[in-house]
Structure 1
Amino acid sequence: MSLRRQSNPRRKEFRPPSLRPSRLEQRGFTLAEMMVAVALMGLLMIPLSNMLSPALDLRAKVETDTRLELLKQAAVGAYRTEMATVDAQPSAIMALQAGTMAPVAANASGACASAAATFAPLARYLQMSTTDAYKDGWGQGLCVLMTTRQTGTQSGVSYWYHNYAFVSPGRDGAIDTGTSLSATSLTLSGDDKGAFIDGRSLVAAQVEATLAQVKRASDAVAAYFNARYLSNSDRDTAINYFARTNRAGVSAGEFDGTGALPNTGGAPALMTSNGISDVLGLTVLDVTNPWGGILQLDNSSDDVRTPENTTASLRSPPFTARITTTLPGGASITRTAVGAY
């Protein structure tokens, strides 16, 4: 006979009071309790929001400054690369090979309704997506300000230019009425932030670069003349060493028959033609101005001293040659090389 106690299936399991579920655990939260919890959370969020707001605002400002700087770099790069196309337009636009960027002014409420498509013409120059480029750090659209074509003067040379600006309405979301773009500067007012593309300075720098380029080419022509004179054992000062033939391309006693520099035929000639730049030791870049125009050499027209000049008093030494280039707008930069003996 077994002495094992058999269990009673009807016997209830005993649990200590600490392990028994409470009524609260069984029924969950009431609607009133949830509303109180939400209200308390709302009250706690107010000081938390006040603490986070300056940090979020600073982040938005930094993001805005970064995007404005990237836009400025892109616009400056586009302007320098496509300057001739940009300044050929008298209107307040930025005409580029990829398309035309038009102004975006503030609406009646001061907001700027730009979009990704606004900056599509700049896409190849941008270091960010156009879907990001048109917004500031607060997620608001940027305004695009432009002047009509202006005229400036640098070292006595007239030139065309446009000014551009990208402007954020700032934290308040509205462009201030005092914010404006002029022929010389960008004026920001209120909490507006902006980037200024100073077309006048950009083009003036290109004019200075062109002046230096023309001088370098002129010096090369003058040096060639002197070298050819010194290579002549007779040191004949009656010979025009700026050209090897006359205008018709025929050798003549007044010209340097054994020289390499061709006659330009009575008019200026591109320095990339007939091997002119090669003879002078200049590269294609050396004779291409910042607008893409090729410098020209004139060693035989009536504008220089040459044995074939139709004015008798201009047929004798010192013989001369001229380097010329034309800027957008028609202004010319010219420098005369004088043959030295």
Structure 2
Amino acid sequence: MRALGAWVLLGAVCAGSAQLQFSVTKSVVKTSQNDKVILPCIVTNLALNNTGVMFVKWKLEKKEFFSFEGRTGKSTTNKNFSSAELNSPEDLKFGNASLRLSNTQAVPGNYSCEVTESNREGETVIELLYRRVSWFTPVENGLIILFMVLAILFYWIQFAVTVSKFETTLLKISLIIAGVVITVFAVVGFSLLISDEFKPQNQIGLGLIVLPAVILVPSQYFLLQTVCENLSFAIGVIVLESLGYLIAVIGFGLCVTAGHPKTSAVVIAGLAIMALTALVGLIHAILTGSSKKNQSSRKPVEEPLNGRW
């Protein structure tokens, strides 16, 4: 009886050890910003640590699409999953059978990883989920649009004030064309920037908002030159506006090159400076125009008085 009990116990232990165990990962989330998707599959109780006696299968919804034979070192893939490969082949002997896929071929669903080591095998299931992620948050989009709209709006109001109170015949057409061009670019950029999910069009939209904004710099200078008797003030405003534009362009470059635009604050800061300088130019044009109007109204009164003397 003792021998029979020992044999049963030994058989139970051997049966338990025949099953490979895995580090459990229930799900993986991918977004449109991922270039690659890694599906984890980690065996925790390998005994031989020998790639030559291992075999790996990956399935999607129970349909095999990838296999790797350790003895030959060759893998086989389905044509719809041509990008599939072991994430770290050299670590397979330590239990790492994780799979790497391109984002476009990583279809959401239930993936199963089956690993065999000699006469032992096991399987784990990972669900691949898809999450929609926008490039900027709604607040960031709102601030970018707000400051650009303010910069353009202040420009148009300053232009209207300037042409109504000062002689700008030669520059009027050029300034109108400049204002129309920057307005059109900005509107198109706004439409491309806003979306519920990141797309390459978002980057194009931000570029159409930021890069053509350089038109505002010389246009603002010509408007200030028309109303300013002291050109140092005009030059100071333009230097500040140029600095804002430079900051916005740097922010744009950082946002485009980064996987996630954590530097959106740089773009927003640059556009905010441009909007502020446009407001300063508008206030100066209004005050200068009012001063000139008052001086003009005094002349008819002063001339008769001077005639009496």
Name which structure has the greater RCO, CA cutoff 8 Å, separation 6+: 2
Per the shorter chain, which TM-score range? 0.3 to 0.5
TM-score, normalising length from structure 1? 0.30
Greater helix proportion: 2
Structure label with greater radius of gyration: 1
